[in-house]
């Protein structure tokens, strides 16, 4: 079957790479989504392990439609009975871009009727919808309709370790993408000087310990009556057996707010990485390190109000001064502040547009010297 993975905006390339690493399959990217062929085990593997993706779907079909009659007829031809049983509750969500059919409500309603009609004719009874609530997503882009069933349920960034949200936290899957786009790897020291609730370091800790991103949560695919998912128990057991415990701490998080550090510690504990991440309440201005090489990946405050601008100017200048004393270090910072390089005092080696939620940001990469190769 066709499996489609959605990616955070601007990060499709990172998701494509991870998809390849997990399955060995090259995926096709269309409108921020990547597709491969697979089976229910692939669906399970991706939901459990994908750190960078937003959701995993089963694609039921796609076709062109410009009238509601066409939409109804084409939807009725799709084999929903392969995935939905006669007790399934069905919720339809629609997303439309530059298309003749342009009412979200009407599209959702027509599609729901067509799906129910199809299932009723196959099962020979009316649907009670007393079972699990399956979410069908209809995407219409320039009159081209794609029908997906959500197998993740809640988006994959909801790993289950966040007990409450901190001050402007970054989504967990976006944090993982930032790490992937940095030069950090398991053997390098990683620091977040504005760690907030700790997301970037917790994601790094999970990578370091080999903890799958979805180990502590439920997924919709586990509730498909049509699939035997008894293999999943073994998949989880194998994943737990593969968790490793590195013997020294190389992940450090600092924040000026004690409340944020408390939150970060609680989240790290829940994620199972408290033993590999060190958090401390500290003003970034006081940071220094004896380590010759290191990587900073961070999401500094950006000042939502115009009145915050002076504070941000001072903070980014001081951040640049702290960096000057970290001679060979690399810095990766995501911020919507457009003059970050000028304030920080260094030109970025690479800039990339990334959305943090709905906020357009730039991810600045400033590369330090490479450590000498070990002989």
Q: How many CB atoms lie within 10 A of CB 28?
A: 10
Helix (H) or strand (E) holding 165: none
Q: Please tell me what DSSP assigns to residue 248.
A: S
224-283 binders of ligand SAM (CB under 6 A) = 254-257, 260, 283
Site for ligand SAM in 70-129 (CB under 6 A): none
The reply on whether position 316 binds ligand SAM by CB under 6 A is no
Q: Pick from 11, 34, 46, 170: which binds ligand SAM (CB under 6 A)?
A: 170
Among 161, 194, 227, 232, contact with ligand SAM (rule: CB under 6 A): 194
Determine the interface stretch with ligand SAM among 36-44, 146-154, 161-169, 343-351 (rule: CB under 6 A): 161-169
Select from 65-73, 99-107, 152-160, 298-306 the region that touches ligand SAM (CB under 6 A): 298-306
Considering the complex, what minimum distance in angstroms separates the CB of residue 161 from ligand SAM? 12
Tell me whether residue 3 or residue 296 sits nearer to ligand SAM (CB atom).
Answer: 296
In the complex, the smallest distance separating the C-beta of residue 197 from ligand SAM, rounded to whole angstroms, is 4
Longest CA span, the chain: 74
Place of tokens 């450090």: 252
Pairing relation of β-strands 89-97 and 28-30?
unpaired
DSSP-assigned letter for residue 302: -
How many beta carbons lie within 10 A of that of residue 205, not counting itself? 25
Q: How far is the CB of 158 from ligand SAM (least distance, A)?
A: 14
Rg (CA), the chain: 23
Contact region for ligand SAM (CB under 6 A) — 66-74, 97-105, 197-205, 215-223?
A: 197-205
Q: Is 101 helix (H, G, I), strand (E, B) or coil?
A: coil
Distance CA 198, CA 50 (A): 19
Helical (H) or strand (E) element with 43 = helix 40-49
Write out the residues near ligand SAM by the rule CB under 6 A: 166-170, 193-194, 196-197, 199-200, 254-257, 260, 283-284, 299-301, 315
């Amino acid at each position: 079957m066709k499996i489609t993975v959605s990616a955070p905006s601007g990060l499709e390339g990172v998701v494509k790479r991870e998809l390849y690493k997990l399955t060995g399959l090259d995926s096709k990217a269309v409108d921020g989504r990547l597709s491969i062929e697979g089976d229910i085990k692939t669906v399970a593997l991706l939901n459990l392990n994908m750190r960078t993706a937003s959701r995993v779907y089963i694609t039921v079909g796609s076709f062109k439609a410009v009238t509601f009659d066409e939409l109804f007829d084409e939807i009725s031809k799709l084999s929903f009975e392969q995935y939905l049983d006669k007790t399934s509750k069905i919720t339809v969500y629609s997303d439309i871009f530059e298309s003749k059919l342009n009412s979200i409500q009407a599209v959702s309603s027509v599609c729901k009727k067509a799906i129910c009609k199809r299932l009723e004719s196959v099962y020979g009874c009316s649907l009670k919808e007393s079972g699990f609530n399956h979410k069908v997503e209809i995407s219409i882009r320039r009159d081209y309709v794609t029908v997906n069933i959500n197998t993740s349920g809640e988006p994959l960034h909801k790993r289950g370790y966040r007990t409450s949200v901190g001050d402007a936290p970054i989504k967990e899957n976006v944090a993982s993408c930032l790490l992937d786009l940095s030069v950090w790897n398991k053997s390098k020291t990683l620091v977040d000087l504005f760690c907030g609730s700790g997301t970037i370091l917790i994601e790094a800790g999970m990578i370091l310990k080999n903890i799958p991103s979805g180990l502590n949560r439920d997924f919709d695919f586990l509730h498909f009556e049509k699939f035997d998912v008894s293999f999943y128990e073994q998949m989880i057991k194998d994943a737990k057996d593969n968790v490793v415990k590195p013997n020294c701490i190389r992940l450090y998080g600092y924040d000026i707010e004690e409340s944020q550090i408390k939150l970060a510690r609680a989240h790290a504990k829940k994620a199972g990485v408290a033993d590999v991440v060190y958090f401390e309440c500290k003003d970034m201005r006081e940071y220094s390190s004896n380590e010759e090489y290191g990587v900073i990946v961070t999401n500094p405050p950006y000042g939502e109000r115009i009145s915050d601008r002076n504070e941000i100017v001072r903070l980014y200048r001081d951040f640049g001064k702290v960096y000057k004393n970290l001679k060979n270090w690399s810095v990766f910072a995501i911020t919507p502040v457009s003059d970050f390089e000028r304030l920080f005092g260094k030109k970025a080696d690479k800039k990339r547009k990334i959305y943090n939620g709905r906020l357009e940001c730039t991810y600045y990469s400033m590369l330090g010297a490479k450590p000498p190769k070990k002989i």
